[in-house]
Chain A
């Protein structure tokens, strides 16, 4: 159900083919598809309605010209509109005129507040600051232990008080911070439902006492229509200064980001992905726009590729393929380079259109580990000249790599086919896009 918007639009947009201009009439089907895509991405109903109106107003009258396909044109209009709503500037933390800068972390239960608080502390520490974490969640069993465990792994002190109430803890933590010259105080509050009046009053009191520069609302990227109600209430009661989008390493489309931005009007300051404490990123409006539309995150992909890809080596490889000297050693090198960039599925998913192509394909990253093990069990001579690998060599390779003879046979066959294919590509006999179908890759169709 989560196919890319572009793919969905292709069908809806047929009526636009051959038309010189976009009109209210010929764009209706396309907009209906856009609406579905946005709703599937959990964008709030009201936001979707406003957004569609805006896009319609912008699109109608636009000329369809040149080589641009109508669906590309519409996706571009939508994408630009999305990016402009999301805000184009990266927002930084607001700092106090004199330290410590006080940051309060608020949100629903399970949104990832404690993990984010620790990540922010880790980030500040890396920048040479002296943060203090404050454990003000006295309700959830073991919440304080969780914060302490995380904090000790990044060498940041935790302020906590047994049996005290959260307002007192927060207040006392400021004295402590001043006394020990901490630059930042990060107060991790308990998760609470926006309609829980008692709990909301508590967080209001904390705010009044400690007067934070930042109140960061942590929002789970998987949240549905309720995002708006929740964010709005937190803002009304405690004055949110920024939003943190958490768990974006899942495959949720994060439509809430758009809803919150548009209805509550608060900037998204951080994106928290993964459980490793260094996984805190600044927010890129264009990337989340692509994600909401299911267009793939091409920018992130290119960035990662650039980091890992060595141009000189690429040229060398091309030369080898042309000269038909591509060996298992080169293959191993390619494989490792690819894997350095992340999980294969994740990488492919970032490419536009691949989302759809991969929907029913299972890519098992472990298959690549197996291949690597088999190649490493070959002698240098075997790697350069696989033709010498006879029965007893195969058995040795299988044993050495913890695989079976069948696995080794399959790899050798695939490699041979790959070499053939490469020759065909370099001589122009095969179009590149037929590659995945022809390669006996370890991708299973399910």
Chain B
């Protein structure tokens, strides 16, 4: 059994022990629309080869194309070299196995260090932040649906009071998910909306309180201060709120995502990432760099437009998808 398979078995064993219904096929299912094979082009390219300079260069290119970034790619390849020296096998898939294990271990390490601590507080307050157009509002809708299906009572706060029609969009999602929503007119103070939402959550005995915020570029100082204010105001009602702040990243985003994570972490206590639009051709490899640099684990991934298209992140499946065949775009009907 190679590095990767044993890692996979280990994770599965843990998952079964805690009675988690974690399925390794779930992500693949979501991604199946686009990726024909898990072991695609790269797998066949690497098969039976030894780790020489030529192969290292090919692996480097694969990682760079997945937006992993130069620095993290260098580190991964260095880790791979060391792992390769330790290994002693004639398995033709040994190289692929080693690089997948190298990456998965890094992701799992970050996930473990910051994993959820037992029972959720009540109300469990989550703030969703990110730059414009990454899919925050859609994600909030899907999250609400996920929690609601787990039998939790959910309330959403529409603290995006800036974008035209953001209120209507969130209201539609709230109706679809069957959860409550608190909103004010466009242009209202977002912190006030957040405060009202949490107030209502406490009064109505809600389990989960989700705060949607307006998209903002991390270079806009004033808007970033506003996030700080929202998180400060929430503390007036629940001293340890927000319990989680998730940064939503678009899978197509390149190296700028690293700067985004750094800047958002300055104004809100970031605790995880949500990667959206992973059902496209982009692979979102930049989360590897972010996970390492800021110890931020990926919590969920979005793989479609339906309300049930948000899944808990699965490092193993993510790594397999990272090395899946570069999907060719269908020219006509399948």
Contacts and interface: CB of A to CB of B under 8 A. Distances in A.
Interface of A: 1-2, 36, 39-42, 45, 108-112, 139-150, 193-195, 197, 220, 222-227, 229-230, 233, 236, 247, 249-253, 255-256, 275, 343, 345-346, 364-366
B132 A110 contact: yes
Interface of B: 33-34, 61, 64-67, 69-71, 131-135, 162-169, 172-173, 186, 217-219, 221, 250-259, 277, 279-283, 286, 305, 327, 329-331, 333-334
A224 B165 CA distance: 28
A250 B218 contact: yes
A195 B34 contact: yes
A365 B259 contact: no
B172 A142 contact: yes
B306 to A, nearest CB: 12
Given A108-B252, A108-B277, A149-B164, A250 B219 contact: yes
- Count chain A CB atoms within 10 A of each CB in B69, B71, B250, B331 and give the residue with the most: B250
A108 B280 contact: yes
B256 A42 contact: yes
A41 B67 contact: no
Contact of A195 (B163, B281, B286): B281
A149 B169 CA distance: 13
Nearest to B263: A251
A195 B280 CA distance: 6
A139 B169 CA distance: 11
B164 A146 contact: yes
12 contacts: A1-B71, A109-B277, A110-B250, A142-B165, A146-B164, A150-B164, A194-B329, A197-B334, A222-B254, A222-B257, A224-B254, A225-B67
B234 to A, nearest CB: 23
Nearest to B215: A110
A226 B282 contact: yes
Nearest to B283: A226
User: In terms of DSSP, what is the predominant structure of the interface of chain B?
Assistant: loop
A180 to B, nearest CB: 24
Nearest to B334: A197
Given A42-B255, A222-B256, A230-B252, A145 B281 contact: no
B280 A40 contact: no
A39 B168 CA distance: 40
A141 B280 contact: no
A146 B132 CA distance: 14
A195 B64 contact: no
Contacts of A249: 217, 219
B88 to A, nearest CB: 33
Contacts of B251: 226
A238 B257 CA distance: 29
A112 to B, nearest CB: 6
A92 to B, nearest CB: 27
Contacts of A226: 67, 251-252, 280-283
B254 A225 contact: yes
Contact of B254 (A141, A150, A197, A252): A252
Contact of A250 (B65, B217, B250): B217
A145 B168 contact: yes
B28 to A, nearest CB: 16
A230 B67 CA distance: 14
Given A109-B133, A250-B256, A39 B34 contact: no
Nearest to A141: B172
A143 B166 CA distance: 9
Nearest to A199: B305
Nearest to B74: A36
Nearest to A220: B133
- Count chain B CB atoms within 10 A of each CB in A140, A224, A227 and give the residue with the most: A224
